[in-house]
Amino acid sequence: MAVRDALLRSPLFQDAPTRILDFAVRAVVERTYEAHEAIVTQDTQGEALYFLQEGRARVLRESATGRERIVGFLYSGDVFGEGAALGGPGRGATVVAETTVRALVMYRSELSTLFERHPKMLWNLARLLARRVDALNEELIAMSLDSEASMAHLLLKVYRQRGAAGEGDAAFLPLTSPDLTACLGTSRETTARTLKKFTSRKLVKVEGGGLRLLDVDGIERTLYDND
Amino acid sequence: MAVRDALLRSPLFQDAPTRILDFAVRAVVERTYEAHEAIVTQDTQGEALYFLQEGRARVLRESATGRERIVGFLYSGDVFGEGAALGGPGRGATVVAETTVRALVMYRSELSTLFERHPKMLWNLARLLARRVDALNEELIAMSLDSEASMAHLLLKVYRQRGAAGEGDAAFLPLTSPDLTACLGTSRETTARTLKKFTSRKLVKVEGGGLRLLDVDGIERTLYDND
């Protein structure tokens, strides 16, 4: 994807005038990361903002108590690294490439210049963060329900994200059993038991390297029924 | 507290020049809310940003599945309503006064003017939201641990927030058993059992209308031990 088109996909550049886009196209650096390579590492210094152009990455966070959890996935069009780029104390999470990832990297000095020249971009960034706060609050509620509701919430979240990113086969989720466990923060046994229930109800099917959603409406009903 | 001092307490006005503060002091409207009164209501339209000046409020969110959870508390110095003020689809949560609350209300048109004149405020807002995203990710991990770790995380969060807000008796948390249940998203039975464990270990003591933390270090150790 051309750099300009990749930037235009990001909500950050919504309604940005041509001169701002021109500046941004010149200001970003294109980087490629191989699968399993860390793009940013939690608690390290870092001042760049990333636009994921192609590929897929996972976001891992280790809590203060040393427990690791997958807190999300990133797809084409997603922005990350904003906390540190905004002058936070350090990276809030680790981002690891799951496939070959192409990203556009914008360093803080260029980002500051962009924000100065076009403050609307800061407004867009704040909106994006406010939506993320909403989504996390929703997730906290879902996670406090039973394990079936938590699983249903996770599957629907990743499915919708893949759809929004324009992934060709959105109903195939590249989530293995260990991934599900690391996302849900449950035990392996609980994950296996819940997955078995979903399989026997023909909501999902295990396929090489992931899960295929067979019945999205049924998964949605599970979320509501178990409330 | 004088309006100017209240605004200065907010991270939004960090490093704001005098002319911006002067404008803000004129732009806000002071409002008082009685205990139990809703300040903003989830899913309604609303375009104002609120600075909590005095008192205490709770933030309630009803999920898409109709389940309600207390997602947080607000104290003096806290800002809320930013999602809708930034042009989001509607209020993401309901905020209810727990005591008499005095708040400064700034409507979107004035807020836009402030952001235009001093874009650094948007930067401050984005940083504040990025920190909230970090805290919510941390909370998601804690909530996926066992019920003792969840309780410990909640008690420490509220305790630190009260300390930061300059509450006189930070170690007294105005949380009843139903509050704890609505915060943790567990059953009443689980909440009662966990609270009993904390009481017998002399970590907390139930006091009229709330809990008193007796051993903050011990509560912190519970969080780590149960990991």
Judged by CB atoms closer than 8 Å, whether chains meet at A136 and B133 is answered as yes
Using the predicted structure, report yes or no on whether residue B198 has a pLDDT greater than 70. yes
Q: What pLDDT is recorded for position B20?
A: 93
By DSSP bridging, strand B210-213 and strand B204-207 are: antiparallel
- What pLDDT shows up at residue A227? 47
Residue of B88, B122, B137 with shortest CB distance to A131 = B88
CATH number of A3-138: 2.60.120.10
Considering only CA atoms, which of A49, A41, A44 is closest in space to residue A109? Answer: A49
Alpha carbons A174 and B186: distance in angstroms, whole number: 31
The size of the A-B interface in CB pairs under 8 A is 152
Question: Which chain A residue shows the shortest CA-CA distance from B224?
Answer: A65
B139: nearest CA partner in chain A: A140
User: Rounded CA gap, A205 and A195, in Å?
Assistant: 9
C-alpha A26/C-alpha A16 separation (Å) is: 15
Instruction: Answer whether B130 sits within 8 Å of A127, measured CB to CB.
Output: no
A107-121, pLDDT tens digit by residue? 988 998 998 899 888
Q: Residue B206 — left, alpha, or beta (φ > 0 → left; ψ -120 to 50 → alpha)?
A: beta
According to CATH, the topology of domain B3-139 is Jelly Rolls (2.60.120)
Is the fold of B3-139 the same as that of B146-225? no
Q: Which fold has domain A146-225?
A: Arc Repressor Mutant, subunit A (1.10.10)
Q: Is the dihedral of CA B73, B140, A222, B193 positive or negative?
A: negative
For residues B136 and A137, is the Cβ–Cβ distance under 8 A?
yes
Predicted pLDDT at B175: 93
| Beta bridge mates, A33 | A101
Tell me how close the Cα of B36 comes to any Cα of chain A, in angstroms.
Answer: 22
* pLDDT for res A44: 81
Query: Is the pLDDT at B59 greater than 80, yes or no?
Result: yes
Q: Closest CB to B65: pick one of A123, A133, A223.
A: A223
Whether chain B has a CB inside 8 Å of the CB on A123: the answer is: yes
The full set of domain ranges for chain A reads 3-138, 146-225
Q: Is B63 on the interface with A (CB under 8 A)?
A: yes
Residues B144-192: tens digit of each pLDDT? 777 888 899 999 999 999 998 888 899 999 999 999 998 887 788 989 9
Q: What is the ipTM of this complex?
A: 0.85
Which pLDDT belongs to residue A63?
A: 76
Asked if A138 and B64 come within 8 Å (Cβ–Cβ), the reply is yes
**E runs forming strands in A63-182:** 68-74, 79-80, 94-97, 101-107, 172-173
Which pLDDT belongs to residue B218? Answer: 93
Task: Kindly give the parts of chain A with pLDDT less than 50.
Answer: 227
Quick one: pLDDT band at residue B206, thresholds 50, 70, 90? very high
Task: Give the pLDDT of residue A33.
Answer: 97
